[in-house]
Amino acid sequence: MSVSPAPGVSPASLQDPAWRQRVTWALVGLVLLWPTLVLTEFKPWVLVEPGSLAPTLRFLGDFLPPKLDLAFLSMVAIETWRTVAMATAGLVLALLLAVPLALLSVRALSVSALSGRMAVWPASVRQVVRWTLVLLRSVPELIWALVFVRVVGLGPTAGVLAIALTYGGMLGKVYAEILDSGETHATSSLLRNGSGRLQAFLYGLLPQSGAELTSYTVYRWECAIRSSAVLGFVGAGGLGQQMDASMKMFNGSEVATILLVFMALVWLADRVSAWLRKGLG
């Protein structure tokens, strides 16, 4: 059933005036995307070829029923707790690294910047700190885990250190941006009246940015749980390492159980994050 335009309204005026521009940019995006698909040899049709489809269906068929032996479930429960503990410990260490680096890189806490341009020495320190944060977050936690597995051996220690370094860089950068983007009048007034930098942060910047900082920290804890599961595939322990072993043995029922635990763990972390954010709001 077609809808006729209202009296006095021409059909041309009902069209999106920017439709030509939208279509043009969509075509440009497809043209630019095509070389990347070719470069990455993206061939999704390989999944349905007979040589790939048969073993895939056979492996997926082994998923049912999931393994629910008491001994296996007990082991999965221990590894689940280890995964959560790895994420939490790594995030705590990341906070110990990120908070001081963030405070050193915040322009609003610089006394010399009150007069306009920051002095050479504080500006140099601030730049070095920012480069350090770039270095920490530019190396993925998976690469850090591979390095630390070589240093400290297999186990959760490598995962904790990997999360601490990468997330320390991420948290430090975002913390600094949040603090610098807020209203700095109260902080500047405190510094001009002889207050120390720590007091200016606690009474000037933190009250107005505390909710946003906490919300982002909780979100990163949720991401750390996912990362700690992935780090297990390189020997950092936890559920990921057990899933890697089950997949290498082509034990689909164990893989199915661990995947269900993965989903439940991510769902629980998401619920806890949402609850905390709601409390902060």
pLDDT (average), residues 90-103: 89
Interatomic CA distance for residues 178 and 98, integer angstroms: 13
Tokens found for residue 89: 């410990």
pLDDT of residue 93: 92
Residue 24 has pLDDT above 80, yes or no: yes
pTM: 0.74
Quote the mean pLDDT of the chain.
Answer: 78
- 55 versus 65: which is more confidently predicted? 65
Residue 82 has pLDDT above 70, yes or no: yes
pLDDT (average), residues 172-186: 79
Question: Can you list the alpha helix ranges (DSSP code H) found in the chain?
Answer: 19-39, 50-61, 70-105, 120-138, 141-152, 156-181, 185-192, 197-200, 206-231, 239-248, 252-280
Residue 194 has pLDDT above 70, yes or no: no
pLDDT (average), residues 202-210: 73
pLDDT of residue 32: 81
- 121 versus 95: which is more confidently predicted? 95
* pLDDT more than 70, % of the chain: 81
- 119 versus 215: which is more confidently predicted? 215
3-class SS string, 18-48: CHHHHHHHHHHHHHHHHHHHHHCCCCHHHHH
pLDDT (average), residues 93-106: 87
pLDDT of residue 46: 73
The confidence band for 184, taking pLDDT boundaries of 50, 70 and 90, is: low
pLDDT of residue 13: 47
DSSP 205-225: IHHHHHHHHHHHHHHHHHHHH
